[in-house]
């Protein structure tokens, strides 16, 4: 006897052919490849005996290797403000 699945509400039917493409910000290519960035977790932070690595999947342009800002989970985190330039003095102390 074949079991019937309970009535599970389904989401809207989406035709993926009608969705907008994502293109490379640099070369306008439509093809991307998956890369993995590894983040190192110190034993002090994790409470483990040795360091661990956390893989983070990202997508870069297959043609030029560019990582679109919207596809970069670290875009706002890793941007560090430029350090102010300290004027050099000719004085010898």
pLDDT tens-place string over residues 25-73? 999 999 999 999 999 999 888 888 899 999 999 999 999 999 999 999 9
CA dihedral 16, 22, 27, 28 (to 10 degrees): 50
| Domain boundaries, position 26 | 21-71
Q: Which positions ≥6 away from 18 have C-beta within 8 Å?
A: none
Residue 31 covered by a domain: yes
pLDDT at 80 exceeding the cut of 60: no
Instruction: Say what the pLDDT of residue 4 is.
Output: 65
Instruction: Give the other-Cβ count within 10 Å of 29's Cβ.
Output: 13
Q: Give domain status of residue 54, yes or no.
A: yes
List, in order, residues 6 or more apart from 25 with CB less than 8 Å away.
66, 68, 69
Nearest to 34 by CA among 56, 19, 49: 56
Question: pLDDT band at 20, cuts 50/70/90?
Answer: very high
What is the number of structural domains in the chain? 1
Alpha helix locations (H) across 18-86?
43-46
Judge whether residue 83 has pLDDT over 60: no
Has this prediction a pTM greater than 0.85?
A: no
pLDDT of residue 9: 73
């Amino acid at each position: 006897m074949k079991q019937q699945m309970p009535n599970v509400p389904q989401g809207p039917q989406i035709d993926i052919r009608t969705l907008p493409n994502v293109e490379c910000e640099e070369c306008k290519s439509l093809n991307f490849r998956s890369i993995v960035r590894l983040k190192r977790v110190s034993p002090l932070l994790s409470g483990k005996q040795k360091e661990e690595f956390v893989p983070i999947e990202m997508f870069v342009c297959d043609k030029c290797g560019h990582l679109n800002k919207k596809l970069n989970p670290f875009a706002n985190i890793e941007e560090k403000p430029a350090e102010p330039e300290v004027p050099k003095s000719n004085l010898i102390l």
